[in-house]
Amino acid sequence: MPQRCLHVNPSRPPPQIASQTGEEFTLAPGQEAAMQGTDLIVTLTGVPDDQRCPLKIECAMSGPVTVTIEIAISPVFDFVD
């Protein structure tokens, strides 16, 4: 199974993005990504724990980050004449 990367950037506003399956993308809390070619919507719902080294700071060791995500199937609408 291929690995997927999720980059967390809490300082950006949350517009929806579209991403190809297997392509890296960056989400801010509350932001969602529509996975093109599928019915999946991935939403970064929170960052409950972040022990990574702050930007522009040199750390001897960087800690882990914990994120919560929601994966939903987008609704499909059938129109009947």
Q: What is the pLDDT of residues 35-70, one digit of tens each?
A: 888 888 899 999 999 999 988 989 998 899 999 999
* In-domain check, residue 53: yes
Tokens (6 digits) for 54: 């702050």
* In-domain check, residue 80: no
Q: How many domains does the chain have?
A: 1
Q: Dihedral (C-alpha) 1, 49, 71, 12: value to the nearest 10 degrees?
A: -110
Distance CA 18, CA 24 (A): 11
* In-domain check, residue 81: no
* In-domain check, residue 79: no
pLDDT at 29 over 70: yes
* In-domain check, residue 62: yes
Buried b (16+ CB within 10 A) or exposed e, 52-72: eeeeeeeeeeeeeeebeeeee
pLDDT at 8 over 80: no
Domain with 16 in it: 6-73
pTM for this prediction = 0.65
